[in-house]
Homo-oligomer: A and B are copies of this chain.
């Protein structure tokens, strides 16, 4: 549709008064500096259309908030007086993303300019722990990271928590996270009482949604406005960016691709339904097909040690075991079949493969690609490519940082003036 219908946009209900204009222009200049890395005031003027007096005032305010600084001299061209250059500062503004997953907790923090301040991942058996214990552990990780930022003189501008499950983003509650065994956990409320500083904005979101955002902001599909992120783990996670925006749906539950029915005559899924995509391409399915002689049992315990299982399958393929070879090909075919559904419905430019899909991407992609070509609507399928994620385990917490930074770029006035 060429004309967008935007009943929810600012212009529908809030007047463009002077404060709104000011905020929009502060955001405009900050985004410009952020995108350019380094630029002169006159290039900001030329490219934004704002006059120099306005820009001086805006830059002054951004400096007072510690978001940009001047370095110099900047040579705009071969002729004329060199001027000072504007660069993103934000060295005192920190963004934190944390992820609680089945078997680890990850924390990633940067300042506004992207300098990495923390990047940790610790093993933690959340799958086998009570929610209270997981939340305590997560609170400790957050607390120690915030303390570290504090020591470095960085004030936390926001925190995003990634969880593998259905999240009520508006209420900050984890509605259902099967691989954590959680139902109805009021996460934000709980973490706030566990010591996240008052006044720091917090958000909770699905891990794959945040990973999709990270791919869009800094991964293999950087800047691609229509992308789908898929992660192969115990479950199959999916995050969707459409028209440059994360798709959330009515309640934040969109993107549950793992439980899309792909085979009405198929196996029972962990969720109790029949023929979910996860039963064809989840890690348990691969392990079962590739190593049928192993007594790994059924259910989540099959993949308690995903690294070991994958290493074994890769070894068997290297040794020429036809079962391992066939299992990977079968997963690739079902990956392509499910992808055809996503392509027909979302018309994405890229499908980014994370988790174990990324590790086996070289084998999986050609098979999936052929199956997509066979089943997807031709033009949309032709124009969509697969790409292996390079962000690894850090994708979701990195996406959490992106959410915080985006909030600052949208509203620089959310960062207090320096004393």
Contact with B along A351-380 (1 / 0, CB 8 A): 000000000000000000000001101111
Q: Which of B5, B243, B252 contacts A244 (CB 8 A)?
A: B5
Please give the count of copies of this chain that the complex contains. Answer: 2
A6-B245, A255-B345, A256-B345 in contact; A250/B264 too (CB < 8 A)?
no
**B344→A377 contact, CB < 8 A:** no
A11 contacts across to B, CB distance below 8 A: 24, 27-28, 31, 410
A145 close to B (CB within 8 Å): no
> Which of A63-71, A73-81, A168-176, A290-298 lines the interface with chain B?
A168-176
Q: Is the pair B28, A348 in contact by a Cβ cutoff of 8 Å?
A: no
Q: Is A406's beta carbon under 8 Å from chain B?
A: yes
Contacts of A260 in B (CB 8 A): 340-341, 344-345
Q: Which of A14-22, A127-135, A313-321 contacts B (4 or more CB under 8 A)?
A: A14-22
Q: Are B406 and A344 in contact (CB under 8 A)?
A: no
**In the assembled complex, A254 has its CB within 8 A of some CB on chain B:** yes
A152 interface contact, C-beta 8 A? no
Chain B residues within 8 Å of A379, by CB: 166, 175-176, 251, 253
Interface string of A1-17 (1 = CB under 8 A from B): 11111111011111111
A251 touches B24 (CB 8 A): no
Q: Which residues of B contact A342 (CB under 8 A)?
A: 345
Distance of A218 Cα from B169 Cα, bound (Å): 29
User: Does A273 touch B at the CB level, under 8 Å?
Assistant: yes
Residues of B within 8 A of A406 (CB): 3, 5
Residue of A24, A238, A243, A262 with most chain B CB atoms under a 10 A cut-off: A243
CA distance A166 to B343 in the complex (A): 13
Nearest B residue to A206 via CB reads B1
The reply to whether A252 and B1 contact each other, CB–CB distance below 8 Å, is: yes
A344-B380 in contact (CB<8A):
no
Query: Quick one: closest B residue to A228, CB to CB?
Result: B345
Once A7-B244, A175-B379 are accepted as A-B contacts, the answer to whether A261 and B347 lie under 8 Å apart by CB is no
By a CB distance below 8 angstroms, the chain B residues around A265 are 265
Q: Taking the complex as formed, is A337 at the interface, i.e. its CB lies under 8 A from any CB of chain B?
A: yes
A243 to B374, CA, bound (A): 32
Interchain CB contact under 8 A, A3 and B264: no
**Residue pair B247, A344 in contact (C-beta under 8 Å):** no
Contact between A25 and B31 (Cβ–Cβ < 8 Å)? Answer: no
Q: A14-B49, A15-B48, A242-B247 are in contact. List 7 more A-B contacts (CB 8 A).
A: A3-B203, A8-B243, A11-B28, A16-B24, A17-B49, A250-B383, A253-B347
Q: Does A123 contact B (CB under 8 A)?
A: no
The answer to the question of A213 belonging to the interface, with a C-beta cut-off of 8 Å to chain B, is yes
Q: Is A346 an interface residue (CB 8 A)?
A: yes
Report the minimal beta-carbon distance from A414 to chain B, rounded to whole angstroms: 11
Q: Which of B13, B223, B248 contacts A1 (CB 8 A)?
A: B248
